[in-house]
Amino acid sequence: MVEKNVLVTGGAGFIGKHTIKELLNNNFNVIVADLKEQPADFDCKYYRIDVASEDLYKIFEENKIDYIIHLAALPSVAESIKKPLLDCRCNYQATVNVCTAAKKFNVEKIVFSSTAAVYANPQYLPVDEKHPASFLSPYAITKNASEQFIKYSGINYIIFRYANVYGIGQDSTGEAGVVAKFFDAMKENLPVKIHGSGEQYRDFVNVKDVAKINVLALESEVKNEIINVSTNTKTSINMLFQILKEEFGYKLNPEYTMSREGDIEKSVLSNEKLTSLLHYIPSVDLKSGIHEMVEHSKAACV
């Protein structure tokens, strides 16, 4: 069997690292494009470039790219509100550039990481892929525009709309990183801030499941579909706090602050399409995923 070459944009990020590990475990040849410096433990071809720039074409000229997993983005809702032009470049312009190169060099399929943010405050729950798009931030707008350009491009695609992804290695300064933010605060016995009442709820999906789904999509016969990636399970922010509190033996009470602009009140995504088309059910429940994060953190400190 000939190894397939997969370009992972944003491969040095949280989801990217897990996806690359899964690709290598499945005997793909991995090529990475990212603005960050190459991590020391990356055993794959690495291009430190801006995916939105013309430098991207060098990768396609030097390598036969069979598939693309396009993860590169500015993933912060708050940052997109403060810097909408930067958000447009990192999300929409980068996607246009990736698709244009993919079309020119005959890439077989692109897997794109979109977001539950395109549903804004849902009209019904759980949210399926037929739910109309609505936007509370430039981030959601540029992700939706990227989806539309991918469909327009004529390339075979699968667009994944991720719920709230969490897991080992998540940056607590990143967006959708409430698990990591609570985790890091409790680890240092620092106060935990909850924006709003804490009764708003989310659908948390472990990054290991996300990575497996990304890789599964590449050679699947499924194409030209938008698919939610979720557990179809709602967890309030207050409940998340309690799960982490019990895991850490944390003694402090949370500090409640004002809700943030662009935050979604309630989000639970249907994963019926994921299970029916890709035959995959996320296997890591939230308590197990958090326990694994804590155990990994303890091991790293030994």
By annotation, the residues acting in catalysis are 139
| Distance of alpha carbon 236 from alpha carbon 171, whole angstroms | 21
Residue owning tokens 């549903």: 119
| Distance of alpha carbon 158 from alpha carbon 24, whole angstroms | 20
- Picking from 129, 116, 146, the residue whose alpha carbon sits closest to that of residue 274 is 129
| Distance of alpha carbon 66 from alpha carbon 69, whole angstroms | 10
- Picking from 171, 169, 146, the residue whose alpha carbon sits closest to that of residue 20 is 169
Cα-based distances in Å from 256 to 49, 114, 172, 194, 197: 40, 30, 18, 5, 7
> Residue ranges of the alpha helices (H) in the chain?
14-25, 56-62, 77-82, 84-87, 94-104, 138-153, 178-187, 207-219, 237-248, 272-277, 286-301
| Distance of alpha carbon 253 from alpha carbon 192, whole angstroms | 8
| Burial of 121 (C-beta count, 10 Å sphere; 0-12/13-18/19+) | exposed
- Picking from 24, 26, 31, the residue whose alpha carbon sits closest to that of residue 5 is 31
Question: Contact at 8 Å (CB) between 49 and 33?
Answer: yes
